[in-house]
Amino acid sequence: MDEEMIRNALVPFYSSKRDGSGLGLPLCNEILSAHGGGLRLERRPGGGTVVTCTIPGSAPPAGAEPKDLQSSLPGRAPRA
Domains of the chain in start order, with CATH, are: 3-56 (3.30.565.10)
Question: So what's the pLDDT on residue 56?
Answer: 85
- How many helical (H) and strand (E) elements, i.e. helices and strands, does the chain have? 2, 2
d(CA 40, CA 44): 12
d(CA 15, CA 5): 8
Q: What is the pLDDT of residues 4-54, one digit of tens each?
A: 888 888 899 988 888 999 889 999 999 999 988 899 999 988 888 899 988
| pTM metric for this prediction | 0.61
Cα 77 to the center of its chain, rounded Å: 24
